Structure 1
């Protein structure tokens, strides 16, 4: 397991006699402190809560966080505190819902550790999800701590590890049962889905990665592979012109990552990829590149959602953060969702394989074709007219496509420059369009 010490120390805080978690909304000049509302009560079990000026939030490094507002849930042991300033945070939330036997990590500041060794103030509890009633879930902690070992950690963060990264899964609410008589080490937690729903109901900004807000923030991160050219100056003019087109697409409020996420969700992922990939900035950078190349070929500059839908009937984008050789995922690729993709459609995949070739070689593809044709693959998601997707669709890796179409022809781009007679922007766009159009 990677070392998440710094991430935990940055984001888990002391909230009065309890604990809480810092997280950043997608927009706004402020941050959130998520905690259990009972730690804010003036008197335990009174249902009366402290004024915002009387609530203390202290970080691991003993910095006091100034607060601007508080929001108390009527239905759950949950409170959202809004800070006066935006903090430097990088914690993301888990998309997936709690499942039985799922391994979690619980971090908070128990009272019995606050006056001891400075570095030991935060305690880690490891456990497994036990039950998942609506809006909540219970966790069995491995060490079976009693109430005195947890007191002060209420409101602390419940985290899950996904592909070597830590994500916020919820917050701890209370010890399950009667603390004086039961010593089973179970705690009741508030799910991230409940927290996000309360944030929306309170009229607050949603919690999701900033990359989902708009493509505009991703424009300068597109086509970075072109920088691997033997002489990157050969491709500077091309890269600038593609960025200009990306900015036009990014300015289209109707077409943005959040709208695409809501419309397609797992349809954007290679089969067996973790749903958390949908929050990956790399995915949305790759999708923007896919969209730009599609628009070049289709001679579109300004687009709307109807174009996105039409494009997906001819070209289908799929993503996985997996860094392995993408050819090893061919069967997963053909088991992905291709409903609506017409016969002869092109599949463009993007993965973490930095050395990806453009297409699979014939022997690997032949094995997949045969296995599908023999009926060894269940659950194909294709239209009724499609008999074998490995025959009727072509698959290209986006990184390999960029390398084959552009990097291997970089010297041919040297002649293009702004204002050049016969070698200006129109000729450049026609040239690069032809290179990509030969394949997709």
Structure 2
């Protein structure tokens, strides 16, 4: 685990009363969530039916900053609880409900009882291994011995597994194996599905609880200012002028009736992903930034005024965007692209690729036909993909990387967008339209 990743996990690991918890985003701007266990916040530890009032629960972050609890919800079947907290901006988190297998390696974070003597409790990370799995959860075995005083206080801490280059939250620890005078390197954990069930069953102020997703999925407007970074530009004034022009175009088209990232995620699901990509990649920020950039470019090229569901359906027939969370050169997973679900794309349509890599790729488009990349069309599909998706060989189609297209049409033509030291937005729009049309038509 890198230092950066460790810091991110530590910063979202919080103290909940005498236990621990995990701070995660909710798909709303009104609150975030803390995932914990119900016995941390019971009025009587032995009675799971009565939880403390929100104002009586103390939650604090790694640096001691307190969080205000707005509401409390408990599971009716598991030792799990959900706290609504305000006054904090929480970054996205990858989580999964079914990505746990026997003997998997994992990490577990919490605040042990023997590290609570100071003003601010100290966090600890435990290396562990998945040692048992059942319907509602799993057990972890710590890689080093842990006595009772070390383990007390970590209940409610998060368990993380490394998948596809991402640290995935897969469960919350809730109980020790054994008695107080026995060793305690076996711990019980509840699945993330317990928290999804709490969210599905409850409301806050008569409104359904928000999904356990980052708030940017609510509206493409939340992503607009991060589009078209154009980091390779030499002249920063030209860079900013072009970014502003493209973003203003998007802002003008993104009316309240436009589809949201979440609605598209619900509608298309795994069909948005390159074959073999885990489902949690659907909440990657880069995926939805790429969708927004494709919309803006397509609105230019197609000369349309309205971005709605009908336009999205038509667009996917001509330019099908597929995402991979890989940070490698996209040409390394061309065969997975060929095995992806291309249903609905016209024979002369473009397969548009984006992946979780900063900057443009070395190659913008593949010179190999997609159908010639399929070396074994009979291999079984990834079980995480849509089981209803037909498995058949891809037909010949052009494959283009979206970031490479931006580099060809904007970054490598930087000097074309300034005439005699001046930038004209209307002229730039025409130049951008012509550049993308020519590049797409190749």
Q: TM-score, normalised by structure 2?
A: 0.83
Counterpart in the other structure of 1:51? 53
Distance 1:61 1:292, change over 3 A: closer
Q: What is the total number of aligned residue pairs between the two structures? A: 426
Tell whether the 8 Å contact from 2:74 to 2:82 is kept in structure 1 after alignment. Answer: yes
* Structure of larger gyration radius: 1
Distance 1:57 1:14, change over 3 A: same
Output one character per residue of 1:221-265: Cα deviation in whole Å (capped at 9) or x when no partner: 21222x533445556655433212312443344411111111222
**1:434 equivalent in alignment to 2:428:** no
Q: Which of 262, 271, 287 is residue 275 of structure 2 equivalent to?
A: 271
User: Which of 378-387 and 280-289 deviates more?
Assistant: 378-387
1:9-408 paired onto structure 2 within 5 Å: 9-47=10-48, 48-83=50-85, 85-90=86-91, 92-95=93-96, 97-101=98-102, 102-115=104-117, 121-143=122-144, 145=146, 147-162=148-163, 165-176=166-177, 178-179=178-179, 183=183, 185-203=185-203, 204-225=209-230, 227-231=231-235, 233-234=237-238, 238-351=242-355, 352=357, 354-360=359-365, 362=367, 365=368, 370=372, 372=374, 375=376, 378=379, 388-389=394-395, 392-408=396-412
Structure 1 stretches lacking a partner, 5+ long: none
Measured on the aligned residues, the alpha-carbon RMSD in Å equals 3.4
Output one character per residue of 1:121-165: Cα deviation in whole Å (capped at 9) or x when no partner: 323222233444344333333336455542221112222334555
Alpha-carbon distance, 1:433 to partner: 5.0
Distance 1:148 1:308, change over 3 A: same
Separation (CA, whole Å) in 2 of partners of 1:292 and 1:119: 48
Q: What SS is found at the alignment partner of 1:65? A: strand
Output one character per residue of 1:80-136: Cα deviation in whole Å (capped at 9) or x when no partner: 2233x31243361414523213322222222233237x8983232222334443443
Separation (CA, whole Å) in 1 of partners of 2:329 and 2:360: 8
Tell whether the 8 Å contact from 1:25 to 1:207 is kept in structure 2 after alignment. Answer: yes
Tell whether the 8 Å contact from 2:287 to 2:323 is kept in structure 1 after alignment. Answer: yes
Separation (CA, whole Å) in 2 of partners of 1:235 and 1:181: 65
User: Which of 132-141 and 187-196 deviates more?
Assistant: 132-141
Q: What SS is found at the alignment partner of 2:190? A: strand
Separation (CA, whole Å) in 1 of partners of 2:358 and 2:62: 38
Tell whether the 8 Å contact from 2:74 to 2:198 is kept in structure 1 after alignment. Answer: no
Output one character per residue of 1:318-361: Cα deviation in whole Å (capped at 9) or x when no partner: 12232322212211211111122221221111121634245456
Distance 1:292 1:60, change over 3 A: closer
Separation (CA, whole Å) in 2 of partners of 1:259 and 1:327: 30
Alpha-carbon distance, 1:275 to partner: 3.1
Output one character per residue of 1:175-231: Cα deviation in whole Å (capped at 9) or x when no partner: 24x536975733222222321331232222322122212110211221222x53344
Tell whether the 8 Å contact from 1:59 to 1:65 is kept in structure 2 after alignment. Answer: yes
Tell whether the 8 Å contact from 2:115 to 2:121 is kept in structure 1 after alignment. Answer: yes
Counterpart in the other structure of 2:206? none
Alpha-carbon distance, 1:383 to partner: 9.5
